[in-house]
A and B are shown apart, each in its own frame.
Chain A
């Protein structure tokens, strides 16, 4: 099993550009989520999904879109990149079980917006 994979590992964008961060998992997990990590801020939830066709907002959703057309994939779209979106982005997945929802994280995407 590859676990949770993310591409790209690094990305530099100019303000106003758009792009999609890819995330895929091969563990048949129902729950997938996107976090951003900034120094001193911990992990903040952007969007999450409890299954194909179902998504919801997290703590910091503005400027980001997601979709979940398959169980395996959960891409994160930046519509018009801003310098405030410079961050490390982690995708995570887990079973949708309240008592057993260990999060498996991908290796992350380091994004810089100039």
Chain B
């Protein structure tokens, strides 16, 4: 079945450093979504990308969807302590609305 691999599993940064997490699918995706989960919380939707090569920005966060629609990345510029959490990508395929989640990247930020 469809697999979504996410790297790295963990990332520790100093406040102010940049951070990137990568997501790769074994199959072509129709869309990809990104979620953030704070410790002890539930996943919260960040963004959805649907077009090949799409780039979207949300303040310090930049999201990219690869040309082949099989990979994606989330980049955070100048991390802050409020960025702490686990970031998940989730790939969608076709019209059955199912999402396959990556295992997530846990980001910790040292103030």
Residues of A within 8 A of B (CB): 31, 33, 35, 40-45, 48, 50, 58-59, 90, 92, 94, 96, 98-108
Chain A residue with minimal CB distance to B101? A43
List of B residues within 8 angstroms of A40 by Cβ: 9, 103
Chain A nearest CB: distance from B23 CB in Å?
11
CB within 8 Å for A42 and B104 given contacts A102-B45, A106-B42: yes
CB within 8 Å for A98 and B92 given contacts A48-B98, A90-B43, A105-B44: yes
Check if B31 sits within 8 Å of A103, measured CB to CB. no
> What would 13 A/B residue contacts be, using CB atoms closer than 8 Å?
A41-B103, A42-B102, A44-B101, A45-B101, A50-B96, A92-B43, A98-B94, A98-B95, A99-B48, A102-B33, A103-B33, A103-B43, A106-B42
CA distance A90 to B100 in the complex (A): 14
Check if B97 sits within 8 Å of A94, measured CB to CB. yes
Chain B nearest CB: distance from A66 CB in Å?
14
Check if B42 sits within 8 Å of A101, measured CB to CB. no
Chain A residue with minimal CB distance to B102? A42
Q: Among the interface residues B9, B94, B96, which one has the most CB atoms of the partner chain A within 10 A?
A: B96
Q: Among the interface residues B100, B101, B102, which one has the most CB atoms of the partner chain A within 10 A?
A: B101
Cβ of B39 within 8 Å of any chain A Cβ, yes or no, is no
For window 6-59 of B, CB contacts with A under 8 Å fall at 6, 9, 30-31, 33, 35, 41-45, 48, 50
Chain B nearest CB: distance from A93 CB in Å?
11
Check if A45 sits within 8 Å of B102, measured CB to CB. no
